[in-house]
Every structure is written in C-alpha cells, then in structure tokens.
Structure 1
Amino acid sequence: MNGELGWVPSREADFKQGEKNASSLSDSDVAALKLSMLPGVGPRIMSRLLEVFGDASSVLAASTERLAAVDGVGKQLLHKIRHVEDYVDVGTIVNWCAVKGVQLLFHSSDDYPRPLKDLYDPPPVLFAKGSVLPSDRLSVAIVGTRHGTAYGTRQAERMAYGLAQAGVTVVSGLARGIDAAAHRGALQGGGRTLAFLGSGLGEIYPSEHVDLVEEVSQSGSVMTEFPPYMKPRAGLFPQRNRLIAAMSAATLVIEAPQRSGALITAHLAGELGRDVLGLPGPVTGRASQGVNSLIRDGAILVQTVDDVLESLGPLAETVSTRDGHQVRHPVELKLNEVERQVLDAVSEGGVLIDQVIQASELPAHRVMATIGVLEMRRLVRRLPGQQIARV
C-alpha cells in the first residue's frame, strides 16, 4: 500500500507518529478505513458487504465461508480481505493526512456531509481538505464539459457568482472547463464552494488546478473517497459524480455534448429526487447538444440566478445561513428586509394576520402587501379565519 500512497515514512519516528495518529481512531473507524481503502472494494461491493454484515468490523471478522457467499467477492478479493494488513497501512494514511492538513470524515461521525447519506452506497470515509458547514446543505451543483466555450465558461462564472452572493454553496468536480469556471465564480462572489475529485488528494487532476484546490479549501472543501495517491482513471469520475449529485439540492448543467459526464451527474441527481436544471446554448453548438436535449426531455430551463432559486423546492429541513437566517426554501434568499421581517413572524402551524402585524412592527397596509408577495412566491398560504402559515 505504501507504494500506492506515494509517500513512505523514511524514519522510525515517522512510523511511530503514524501509529500514534492511527491510535486516536476508534476500532470501527480503523476497520472502515481498512475496508474502504482495500483495492477491489468499490461502492457496489462495499454496499453489499455492509448490507450483509452491518459494519466494516464485522466484515473483516467474518468467516471465509460467509464472505465467499457475497455476490462480487471472488477469490482474489477474499484473499485481500483476509490479509487486509498486507494491503492497507492505516498508520501511513493517517499520518499523510496529518502532515497535509486533511481530515478523515467517517460515515458514523457528525461532521460527515448529511446529504451524502441519501446514497445507497455512501463512502464510509471521505478525505477532506477544508471544512463542510451545515449551511452547505443549501447548495447547487454546476457541471458541464471540460471543453467549455467562451460562452459556457462566462455563463458558469456568472451563475456561480450570483449563487454565491445569494448565499448558496456551489458544488462541482474541479475539472477543466465549466467545473473550474464554477469554482472560480463562487470564489469571486465571496461565497463557499465544494469540490469532489476523481482521484486522491495527493494526485490532483488536472495538475494545473493545484492552486485552485488551495483556494477552494479556504472557502469550502475539496473531498474525495479515494486514497491520497490514487491516480485519476476514467472509471473513477462517474463514481465521483454521484457525490456531486447527492450533495446538491439541484444540479445545473451548462454546456454538455451528447456523451458527457455532466449528463451522468444530471441523471443521478434526478434519481435521487434532486432538481435538474439546464442553461440552454446555441442550437448549432456541439457543446450544447446534450444540455439542450436534457431541457427538451424535462429539465428545468434557467437563465438567471433568480430562475434557479425559484425552481428549487423546499429543503428537507431548515438550514441556517451564514448571516443567521433560518431558510426552508431557497427562494427566501431573494427576500428584502421587510419581506424577511414578515416571513419571520409567520409559523408553519399558522398565525393570525393581526399577530404578524404586531410582531413585525410594520404598518398594516405594508404587511398585507408583503403577504401578497410571499404568497406569489409560494412561501406562505392563507388559512381560514384571517390566518396565514408558512408553506
């Protein structure tokens, strides 16, 4: 495993430090790290193993007969599981993370990104450089071709900039083209952005995005489920795409030809019940053929940041924004101070309009007009008896 990591402790002190860092992990976390880093154990086999045995510790302790009965576990993988210590050096991995400032986010921990738990095969362990905040649940993925045109990259930067300024976290895959433009637009907008890699954090791809990784990690997080020095391979990117789709309340596609990884992300988002959005491009442009077809087949056409916010449905649970507001629907980010003041005075169970006037300390005519605006934006609804309630 050390050779695969690309970083080998050269002194006895390094080995001891690795063992010390590893000893800070619980037995279940060590087992999860061993199993998830074992060559040959991908998301599907991992989900089967955990479905049968319950947790990683039970998998590693299982009998040869029970392991062999699991679909996908052949002789080679069976041998690796039985001799996991020969293939995975936990001390080396944990020490690499400590040296590089990389966090280990275990599925069982509170700091693991909650939206990823909607997957049937969530990674047991994530390597993360930077931070993931509760407010990141209010997020939109922006994805597209690696060969973005000037039009596509401008649109990606524009949409990401506007979303970031509105308080939405922008998620993407750090690839060339549209992905990179989305991350940069979010950073220019002074907001947060999350990146998911199709390689390890010790093998940044493309290599020219090393500086971008540092910028993103200062205003969000760069994450991967792969070992530190896992080199990028074609098959790893669709696997990475499921994390982008799951992390986001919606996926916005900007420029994608007919055969594009961005379309895979969009389809995964749809399967997860997330909104799928498309920004149209020239009908004669090859780079826009895929996204235009996506819109034709039912994706929501958007042209502005307001379109994106209005298209998003209510969040599964209330999210606290960076400025302290409690948001249930992304369109609330568009509200002005008066609209926010009135909405904050309305409960989900319903409240008398007179009580809203009293709580908001605004003139009655202004409250009534604002309620009309909130109704049009589908944030409140009228109830019998001069009452209103949040939607």
Structure 2
Amino acid sequence: VLFVKGCLEALALPYLAIVGSRNASPGGLQVAYQLAAEMSSMGFGICSGMAMGIDGAAHKACVDHQGRTIAVLGTGIEIIYPRKHRQLYHDIQQQGCILSEFWPDTGPFAGNFPKRNRIISGLSLGTLVVEACRKSGSLITARLAMEQGREVFAVPGSILGGYHQGCHDLLRDGAKLVETAADIVEELASLTAFHLEELKLCHHIQQGEICNLPFSSLLASVGYETTSIDAVVEHSGKTIDLVLEQMLELELQGWVIAVPGGYVRVKRS
C-alpha cells in the first residue's frame, strides 16, 4: 500500500530521480537545482526523498518553476521530517505529491530511509546522483535503480575533498556522465511520455478527454524530448504538409515548441 497526499495527477508524468548528499556543497546544490529546473521545463517530474541537501534543492527547483515533483518519505505522510522542510512539504503538494509506504503517523526510524529508496528509483525512468561520497545513502538508490533495470546517471566533480567519490565510482561502473539536462534526455528519449501518450490513448478513463484535444493523434506523436519531424510524420501517419500545418497550430496554442531538430511537447492534457 502506498499513501499519497497532494496532487494525484502528478503521478502520470515520466520521472527522473535526483539524489545525493545531505551535506552537499554549495556547488552541488546549485547543480541539483539547475538540472531539476531544466528537466522540469522539458516536461519531466522530479522524484526524491525530501532530505536535506541535494533532495531539497531538486524539489525546490520544481516548486519554484511550477513543475511536478514527488517526495517519497522515510516517515508517514503526516510526519514532516526534517522539520526545516515544513514549508517545502506543503509547497510540494500544490503541484506534486507526498508519498510513503509507512502508516501515516510513523515517525523517523533510521532503517526506513534506505528502505524507501527502492520506491524513489522504481517510480523513475532513471536516477541521477549529483554529489555523493562512497558511503552515501544515495548510492543505495543508484544500485536499486540498476537492479530494477533503470538508467543511472552521475555528475562528475573534483577529486579533492571526497564529495564526488561515489559519483566517480558509478561512472566507472557504467553510469552515464551528466553535464547538462540534454545528456539525460538523450538517454531516456525512448522511454519518455512519447510512449505513455500512446498508452493513454487506449485508456478508457482518459479517452473522452483525449478526443477533445487539438489534433490529438498528432499531439500524441510529440514527446517531452526533442522529436524529429520525420518521427512525427511516421508515428501520426499524416502527410508532411498536414503535419507542418497542424504543428504550427499546436505551437500557436502553446502545446509544443519548435527546437533545433524538431519539436518538444510542453503542455499536458
């Protein structure tokens, strides 16, 4: 059983988990915030654990940019931990949700925090570790992501101080090196909402709403990553002339934006 508090619709997005050190450096916090904001602007949700440090920076970026975010707690959903994140706890629920497998009034017990990490990685298409020493709990999330068949990403850093040893170990083990959000989107392109939209078209609950969307079959052909015009034509089955005409209309209505290499969907149904 999972207990959820907040906006249930937030669960429908493709998610990226962003995790890292609780005692993050200022640079690490800045990187986590920037990458979370960029991924949010591309239509991804951000999943993390609402801990101090990297988790909090990732959630805060989504809140500040009106993006979706899920906080998977190591306590019950009625218990705010850490207390310093009281405002963040309430802000997350406006655009996203708080989630926990523990009974709502369960307090903070050390053993529950590593346990919840499998839910963070399981809800996400991939896990990004921004800053982590070799004994960081965020490496547990990365290992679980690998076991669950998810993608693993890591941000490299200085060899001094030991703040990035865990990330460097992940990179040696085959994690994808990340410098910008584009590095993540490139890897997740085939797994994103491009395919989730196809699934939603077949879902009886959503069918009526989808039919009311402008050029719904064409819109379902555009993902939240850069989708080439050739891919849109092939997936939609429409002629190139009709696709270009309708894509212009979708762009004017704010559903998609034209980017180098094609289009990106920026508005959800």
TM-score by length of 1: 0.55
1:345 and 2:221 correspond: no
What's the % identity of the aligned pairs? 37
| CA drift at 1:129 | 1.0
For 1:334, the aligned partner's letter is T
Q: Is the 8 A contact 1:137 1:248 kept in 2?
A: no
SS of the equivalent of 1:185 reads helix
Q: Is the 8 A contact 2:16 2:44 kept in 1?
A: yes
Q: CA RMSD in A?
A: 2.7
For 2:241, the aligned partner's letter is Q
Q: Give the whole-Å Cα distance in 1 for the aligned partners of 2:221 and 2:163.
A: 36
Partner of 1:254: 130
1:234 and 2:128 correspond: no
Q: Give the whole-Å Cα distance in 2 for the aligned partners of 1:187 and 1:319.
A: 24
For 1:346, the aligned partner's letter is E
1:139 and 2:15 correspond: yes
Listed as ranges, the matches of 1:42-53 within 5 Å are none
Q: Give the whole-Å Cα distance in 1 for the aligned partners of 2:105 and 2:177.
A: 39
Partner of 1:148: 24
1:358 and 2:241 correspond: yes
Structure 1: give runs of 5+ residues left out of the alignment: 1-124, 363-369, 375-391
| CA drift at 1:153 | 0.2
Partner of 1:389: none
TM-score by length of 2: 0.78
1:267 and 2:143 correspond: yes
SS of the equivalent of 1:286 reads coil
Q: Is the 8 A contact 1:162 1:189 kept in 2?
A: no
Q: Pick closer, same or farther for the CA change 1:328–1:272 going to 2, 3 Å.
A: farther
Q: Give the whole-Å Cα distance in 2 for the aligned partners of 1:149 and 1:284.
A: 12
SS of the equivalent of 1:252 reads strand
Listed as ranges, the matches of 1:114-193 within 5 Å are 125-133=1-9, 136-193=12-69
| Aligned residue among 170, 191, 196 for 1:319 | 196
Q: Pick closer, same or farther for the CA change 1:361–1:145 going to 2, 3 Å.
A: closer
| Aligned residue among 211, 214, 218 for 2:87 | 211
Q: Is the 8 A contact 2:69 2:96 kept in 1?
A: yes
Q: Give the whole-Å Cα distance in 2 for the aligned partners of 1:361 and 1:169.
A: 29
Q: Pick closer, same or farther for the CA change 1:136–1:159 going to 2, 3 Å.
A: farther
Structure with larger RCO (C-alpha < 8 A, sep 6+) = 2
| Aligned residue among 281, 292, 300 for 2:168 | 292
SS of the equivalent of 2:190 reads coil
| CA drift at 1:261 | 1.1
Q: Give the whole-Å Cα distance in 1 for the aligned partners of 2:240 and 2:116.
A: 49
For 1:273, the aligned partner's letter is G
